[in-house]
Amino acid sequence: MTTRRFDSDLLATFLAVLDAGRISAAAKALHLSQPAVTAQVGKLEDAVGGPLFLRSVRGVTPTGAGLRLAEYARAIHRLLDEAAAEVAPADDRGGPLAIAASTTIAAHILPPLLARFRTTNPRVPIRLHVDNTEGVVESVRTGRVLLGLVEGHARASGVRLEPFLDDEIVAIVAPDTPFVVRRASDLAGVPLLWREPGSGTRAVVERALARSHVRRRGIRDLDLELGGTEAVVGAAVAGLGVAFVSRWSVRAHLAAGLVRIVPGLDLVVRRTFRWALPAGAIGGTSKMFYDFVRRRTPA
């Protein structure tokens, strides 16, 4: 009987495709090309000796073999995490995890990752500092924390920025809103709900409006400026204006029918969440968490 050995990187790609449900979505999350992801899945299927996914126009669904392999792949990842935690030097294992994140990431993306990290590192204290993008970058630059996650920035002086996760900013309104918005030019005559200056979301929306030549003279006094994503979403639910927020932050509100996405708006606002890292190398618990997250794709 031949013993098959699976490359752990191939297993990570396999789980990313399984969680995303599409080759294209997994490729974006892994920052690889679609052909590269397809080739890795094919290589793993060759090693297994059969298909792991059923392909269709709607994406991919796991076969019976794929579901069984997923259980083992997740168990392997847990064991690798436990091994890394156990063999790390005592100084590395004993320090707290200090991380700074902008509000959308802190509220909607980090919690499940921190929960999974804690299952294999139950004694590591976790300190999460929440700020806007400018504040997070400054915390990393000054050494207050070694890890940051931010929205909006592509570069920052004295800080390394690396891709983390793709995002899309969507325009939302209350279901019974009196505002009529069908195209970007309509935003010139309706109140907008803004985050505070320094917010990554605000920065990318302002650039998108400028590219679309939206002129808002005479309406700005009706805008609201609110210090946090939840406040912006709450104001949108109350019908106070049009809000631009991360799609990650309003999944529950959309499902509950509290807000709706403005359909057909010819204003595409995409961005990439990024790691904010010191100019030098990181180590200790920060490096453990950084490596842990890079092996996973938020679902």
The residue to which tokens 């010819």 are assigned: 266
Give the model's pLDDT for residue 188.
87
Q: pLDDT truncated to tens, each residue of the chain (299 aa)?
A: 445 666 778 888 898 898 888 898 888 777 788 898 999 999 999 988 999 999 988 888 999 999 989 888 887 877 776 666 566 554 445 588 999 999 889 988 999 899 989 988 888 999 999 998 889 999 999 989 999 999 866 667 889 999 898 888 999 999 988 888 888 888 888 999 998 888 888 888 888 888 888 887 767 778 899 988 889 999 999 999 999 998 888 988 998 999 999 987 878 788 889 999 998 888 889 998 998 898 776 54
Domains and CATH numbers, the chain: 8-87 (1.10.10.10), 93-164+273-294 (3.40.190.10), 166-270 (3.40.190.10)
Q: 64-87 vs 284-294: helix axis angle to the nearest 10? A: 170
Give the model's pLDDT for residue 41.
93
Whose CA is closest to 172, among 260, 65, 53, 280? 260
Give the model's pLDDT for residue 12.
85
Give the model's pLDDT for residue 128.
95
With b meaning 16 or more CB within 10 Å and e meaning fewer, what string describes 73-86? beeebeeebeebbe
Give the model's pLDDT for residue 90.
47
The dihedral of CA 245, 248, 253, 258: what is its sign? positive
Q: Are 85 and 120 in contact (CB under 8 A)?
A: yes
